[in-house]
Every structure is written in C-alpha cells, then in structure tokens.
Amino acid sequence: MEHIFCDVLVVGSGAAGLRAAISAKQKGLDVCVISKQAPGKATCTILSAGVFAGTEKNKSSGHHLRRTLQAGRGINQPELVKVLVEEGPMRLKELKKWGINAEFHRGYLFCKGRAPYRGREIVQCLLTKNETLGTQFISGQLVTDLKPLEEAFGVLAYSPGVDKWLTIGAKSVILATGGAGALYLRHDNPKRMFGDGYVLALKAGAALQDMEFVQFYPLDLQRRIEILLGAQAASLIIQAALKRKESRGSHFREDFSDQDDDNWQGHLQVKLSRNGEANWNFRAIS
Ligand SMILES: Cc1cc2nc3c(=O)[nH]c(=O)nc-3n(C[C@H](O)[C@H](O)[C@H](O)COP(=O)(O)OP(=O)(O)OC[C@H]3O[C@@H](n4cnc5c(N)ncnc54)[C@H](O)[C@@H]3O)c2cc1C
C-alpha cells in the first residue's frame, strides 16, 4: 500500500478546497488536495451558475449584513454572515486579480462559463493559482477514514478505478467535501455528493450543526404530468421576474437597473384560480 505525508491535506477540490489550499500554500506549507475525480471535476462548483454576491456598489457592508439576516429570517449565524459580508468583496477582487474569466456588475461576479458548467471559470482560476504555487493533487481517490492521532491525522483513501488503497499522514486536514444533495432521488448536484465529509468529521469527533438545511433544485422532469407542471411553473417564474421593477443579484434587468429595497424586498406570491389564471400578491418579509 502506498503512503504519503504532507503538512496539510485538503479533501475536496471545489471552490472551498481549492481556496483553502491556496491559503495554506501561501503560508509556505506542503499541501495536497485529494478528490473523487480529477481536480475541480464533478463538483457543485463547476456546475454552479457562477454568480457570486459581494457588497453592492455604493452600499455599505452593514446594508448587505442586514439584508442577509433579514432574508435568513434571523436563523443565520450572525458571526458567519459577518465573515461572508466582510470577506466576500475581498475574495471577488482576488479572483479578478488572478485573472478569472468573469464580468463584475455592481458588486456581483458573473462567471463567463457556458451552461451547464458556468462555474468552470472559477475552478480554472483557482486551479491555475494552485499550480503556480505548487500544490499537489491526488485524483480519483475516495477518502474513507480520518483518524486523529497524537500529532497528526491518519487518512485512508481508496481508488475504485484501480482497486488500490492509499494511506496519508497529515499534520492538518481540511474537509471541503461539499454537501449531500445526491442522497435525494432528484437533484441538480453531481452524482456522488453523498455528504461523505459529514461522516468523516463525525467519526473524527467533530460536532455537526444545521443538518436540516439542504439546497438544490429538483430539476428532473420524468413523466408527462411533470413536464406539464414544469411548463406551467416556468411560465409563472418568467411572469414573476417580469413583475419586478428592479435588479437583484443575478436577476439583472437592463430596463430597471437599480435595486430598490424599500419597495421590492419581499415575496412575490402567486395563487392559481380554478380556471388557471394567476393572481399576484406582494408580501413583506416577516
Ligand atoms: C446547479 C447549481 C447551481 C449553483 N449556482 C450557484 C451560484 O450561482 N452562486 C452560488 O453562490 N452558489 C451556487 N451554487 C452552490 C455552490 O455551487 C456550492 O455551494 C459550492 O460550489 C460548494 O463548493 P464546495 O467546494 O463546498 O463543494 P463542491 O464544489 O461540491 O466540491 C466538493 C468536493 O469534495 C470532494 N469529495 C467529496 N467527498 C469526498 C471523499 N470522500 N473523498 C474525496 N473527495 C471527496 C468532491 O470530489 C469534490 O471535489 C450552485 C449549486 C448547484 C448544484
């Protein structure tokens, strides 16, 4: 069985893992990134719509903080929202400096990748930066065990393609294994997003928090009735987008380019009458 050693082992090569590896490398450490597939492949990051929010131009970070807490109905963790709001704009500037192929509008970053891999540009940018810094990559390996030892971690990984095991010793391990969307029958995540990192962390003695929050879009239309419902939903989504008279996040409208929180921060509600007509309402966030 092969054995390797490094200062920092990063499990996962999506945006979180690749960015963490850059920080560790910049501290002069010996860093290795391991993932189930080739670096950056089969990640939510590469499949994402590639739109990332910073603070709106001409708006304060306090405004971004308030809006995010309000949208989270007060159940967000304020200290994490603070990190997001304070560091977000810095991270977007950093990506710009590192040459990401993206557009920047009013504090938001829009990757220029093509659907369904719009996030490819973010992966490419972070991978290139890692390559410049000399990060090592191990691909096609599934981390199965993580054991805290006295002064390091013992990690076991399996390569299903060649039926081989690998052991890794690392002074620190960063779990950046993404979510667990693929546990559901229909989802828009890569096929193997099973929440492995949750189990690895639990077994290593970490506490998990807020496991009930899972986000994905159930996009698969499998039967005719779903296609009909899907077509109706799509038409309502388009109508809802047209009803708004302002731009927000990725919903940029050239005809109404300003964000208008006073009049538009709220829920646009729709109810269908028996004859299929849509009745629209606007409800404030409570
Ligand atoms: C269709 C879609 C659109 C989205 N659009 C947006 C958007 O526009 N804006 C936005 O902000 N967010 C968006 N998101 C969410 C965003 O993409 C994710 O939150 C983010 O990419 C997660 O990054 P990550 O690095 O944590 O995980 P991922 O990018 O999913 O990476 C997980 C990594 O962990 C590895 N891994 C997992 N288990 C193991 C194991 N046992 N052994 C080895 N490696 C393992 C995987 O191989 C992979 O490399 C979208 C998500 C989807 C699915």
Most confident residue range from 109-123, 245-259, 260-274: 109-123
pLDDT band at 220 (very low <50, low <70, confident <90, very high): low
196 within ligand 1 shell (Cβ under 6 A): yes
135 within ligand 1 shell (Cβ under 6 A): no
Q: Which of 9, 43, 44, 126 to mutate to test the pocket of ligand 1 (most atoms within 8 A of CB)?
A: 44
Neighbours of 188 (CB within 10 A): 17
Residue 141 near residue 156, CB atoms below 8 Å: no
Distance 6 CA to ligand 1 centre (A): 24
H helices within 11-60, ranges in order?
A: 15-26, 44-47
pLDDT tens digit string along 180-209? 999 988 888 999 999 999 999 999 999 998
Tell me which of 158 and 57 has the higher pLDDT: 158
> What fold, for 2-50+113-203?
FAD/NAD(P)-binding domain (3.50.50)
Q: How far apart are CA 273 and CA 65, in angstroms?
A: 38
Tokens of 222: 């499998």
**Mean pLDDT score of the chain:** 90
Provide mean pLDDT across the span 10-32: 98
Look at 227-231, 250-254, 266-270 and tell me which has the smallest mean pLDDT: 250-254
> Is pLDDT at 144 greater than 80 in this prediction?
yes
So where are the chain's domains?
A: 2-50+113-203, 224-284
Q: Which of 177, 200, 251 to mutate to test the pocket of ligand 1 (most atoms within 8 A of CB)?
A: 177
For the chain, percent of residues with pLDDT exceeding 70: 96
pLDDT tens digit string along 48-75? 988 887 776 667 888 889 888 988 887 8
| pTM for this prediction | 0.87
Q: Compute φ and ψ for 226, nearest 5 degrees.
A: -70, -35
Q: Which of 9, 11, 45, 100 to mutate to test the pocket of ligand 1 (most atoms within 8 A of CB)?
A: 45
51 within ligand 1 shell (Cβ under 6 A): yes
Tell me which of 158 and 230 has the higher pLDDT: 158
